[in-house]
Amino acid sequence: MLLESFLMSHITDNVQRILGELPENVELVAAVKTRTPEEISEAIEAGISLIGDNYVQEAEQHFSTIETRVRRHLIGHLQSNKVNKAVELFDMIETIDSVKLAEHLDRRCRESGKIMPVLIEINSGREDNKSGVLPEQAEQLIRKIAVLENIRVEGLMTMGPMEGNPENSRPYFRETRRVFENIGRLGIPNVVMKYLSMGMTNSYRIAIEEGANIVRLGSLIFGERKK
């Protein structure tokens, strides 16, 4: 009980410190992969208003036991067979990277009478093992998605390296911001470049310097994940 109480107070301290340090225009997403409902609830009580889940199934488990209403983003890859449930659970999907997935999401949103804000995931590191569209293909993808009536493109998201020297993330973030600004100048109907989601615990300060206005922090809030 004493250990649990200590860990919870630690979460509260972390949240309040981070919120106090972030620029006013930057939103904090608490990345809750593998976290318990108790940990998430503590973070919400400390001031978190935006939760990011990597998996639809895990999000469903989390929010079946969390009463407080917060905004919910999907920050992990969306599988086609999870689209129906994702439409029910989330307020934004940050990881759209194909026309096929966007069309599937659009159909389900239309059936539900919902318009879903989405971000386009950019594979700025050009890594074969990561999701996302290549930077030079982003405009073509966005133009095809923009005609869909029940999803709305509101910006871009990228990952960057999860470990190592934070400075190594800068080229990833700079490239994504370049695409973000270019798309914003095109005036594509039904597209607003409002959100640039970049940076995690290891790199969020660099991401903010490069223009991020959403950062996704997990271990900096909750501590290292349990093995």
Domains of the chain: 2-222 (3.20.20.10)
**Measured distance CA(75)–CA(94) in Å, rounded:** 5
Q: What is the pLDDT of residue 5?
A: 44
Burial-class residue 123 by CB neighbours within 10 Å (0-12, 13-18, 19+): buried
What is the gyration radius of the CA atoms in the chain, in angstroms?
17
92-123 pLDDT per residue, tens:
999 999 999 999 999 999 999 999 999 999 99
Under a CB-based contact definition with an 8 Å cutoff, are residues 53 and 40 in contact?
no
Q: 133 forms bridges with which residues in the sheet?
A: 122
Q: Which long-range contacts (CB under 8 A, 24 or more apart) does 159-166 make?
A: 159/121, 159/124, 159/125, 159/130, 159/132, 159/200, 160/124, 160/125, 160/198, 160/199, 160/200, 160/203, 160/207, 161/125, 161/202, 161/203, 162/200, 162/202, 163/202, 164/202, 166/202, 166/203, 166/205, 166/206
Under a CB-based contact definition with an 8 Å cutoff, are residues 44 and 64 in contact?
no
pLDDT band at residue 62, thresholds of 50, 70 and 90? confident
For 143, the token pair is: 């133009």
Query: Which residue in 5, 4, 15 sits closest to 221, CA to CA?
Result: 15
Query: Which residue in 34, 44, 33, 110 sits closest to 76, CA to CA?
Result: 33
pLDDT greater at residue 217 or residue 5: 217
User: What's the whole-model pTM score?
Assistant: 0.92
- End-to-end Cα separation, the chain, in angstroms: 21
Q: What is the pLDDT of residue 23?
A: 97
Mean local confidence (pLDDT), 134-158: 97
Burial-class residue 54 by CB neighbours within 10 Å (0-12, 13-18, 19+): middle
What single-letter DSSP state applies at residue 133? B
Please say if the pLDDT value at position 169 is more than 80: yes
Please say if the pLDDT value at position 132 is more than 80: yes
pLDDT band at residue 127, thresholds of 50, 70 and 90? confident
